[in-house]
Structure 1
Amino acid sequence: MNRHNAPPVVYPLGRSLFLRRWLLTLWLAGLLSVLLWAVSARLQPDALALALVTVLGAGMAVRLSCKSLPCGQLAWDGDTWRREGAGSQSGGALNELSVIADLQSRLLLRFENQAGKGLWLWVERSSLPERWLDLRRAVYSPHKSATRRLPHGRADAVDVMDALDVMDAQASSFSSALPAAAAGGVNVARGRP
């Protein structure tokens, strides 16, 4: 069993138009719900003002969170993921990639760094269409090596693919020995004739 890592790729990160539109739609649905509730329940002016302030506060929180989305580049070097660019979380290696949502033309990815802190990234095809398939190959390719996490941030490098190759070789040598053992009258379960 021979596995190869995906080739290196660098992909731009930016503010997701899709995410902003989706959050705006949710916010407008919340605003509409509050307005319909206010009309149907004939709310007192104080309760209506509180509900509207809450919805407007949620809208401001969405706006601020959209402005603080990570920018820069997502880089795969064939072995590890890195986020490059300005920001406090950039530069370090990103471990444990998880694809949270795959919408074909956009991906929601979650990375965990060595300290265990999660980083959520929206990546869209429209950012760099000619490298989109390269990015998807890197995201979905089996990685050549993996690390087993131990307590206190330590990690033991375990080459899972090599271990699987050894197990495959042992299994194939055992399975090829079965017909020869059966022909010689050897009880394979007990190892004697």
Structure 2
Amino acid sequence: MSGLRDAPSVSYPVGRSRFWATVLTALALAVVLTGAWMASTVPPEAWLPLAGAGLAWMAWAARSERQQPTGLLRFSGSTGRGGTWRWALDGTDEGLALQAVEAAVDLQNRMLLRLKGSSGVPAWVWVERVDAPVDWLALRRAVTSDRPG
């Protein structure tokens, strides 16, 4: 267990997530297929409002997927608990200090991370093992070591 708590320093690239794009595409396909089924079986006054909501959701999903933040997530580790996180949008500057980085979803080869900055408004980013396989375990240890308790 001590190996999880002794997280090394790591820099990890964050880019547009192929996984998240696939999830949104699958959901959009489900919306289209459901709409087609409803159009063939239900009167228009029942399905037209739902079709509008489905189109609005698909527009939001496409926009949010295109606007995923990209940059470099850095953890400066220390022996034992603790360390500091920084988020550099362009990957070259020093970056913004983060209060915490938490795994909201951990699928072993990809994680949805919640980045908590000083503004209090969290940013959400997907990180995937395929983007930097050599540094993946170090990133996972850093996220785990920073967990309270």
Q: TM-score range by the shorter chain?
A: 0.7 to 0.9
Q: Which amino acid in 1 is paired with 2:44? A: L
C-alpha RMSD of the superposition: 2.7
- How far residue 34 of structure 1 moved from its aligned partner, in angstroms, is 1.8
1:25-46: CA deviations, max 9, x gaps? 11111121122122111325xx
- Deviation of 1:74 after TM superposition, in Å, equals 0.5
Q: Which residue number corresponds to residue 68 of structure 2?
A: 69
Partner of 1:8: 9
Task: List runs of 5+ in structure 2 lacking aligned partners.
Answer: 78-82
Deviation, structure 1 residue 59? 1.8
Secondary structure (helix, strand or coil) at the match of 1:138 reads helix
Distance (whole Å) between structure 1 residues aligned to residue 116 and residue 50 of structure 2: 37
Distance in 1, Cα, partners of 2:144 & 2:48: 49
Moved more, 48-57 or 59-68: 48-57
2:64 counterpart of 1:55:
no
Deviation of the 1:118 alpha carbon: 0.6
Relative contact order, CA 8 A, sep 6+: which one is greater? 2
Give 4+ residue runs of structure 1 displaced > 6 Å after superposition: none
Q: Percent identity?
A: 36
Shift in CA distance, 57/142, structure 1 to aligned 2, threshold 3 Å: closer
Determine whether 1:92 maps to 2:96.
Answer: yes
Number of aligned pairs?
140
1:182 matched to which residue of 2? none
Aligned equivalent of 2:105: 101
> Cα deviations across residues 123-168 of structure 1 (Å, max 9, x unaligned)?
000001111111111111257xx8xxxxxxxxxxxxx9xxxxxxxx
TM-score, length of structure 1 as denominator length: 0.64
More strand by share: 2
* 2:126 corresponds to: 122
Unmatched segments (≥5 aa) in structure 1: 147-159, 161-193
Note the C-alpha offset of 1:62.
1.1
Aligned residue type for 1:122:
W
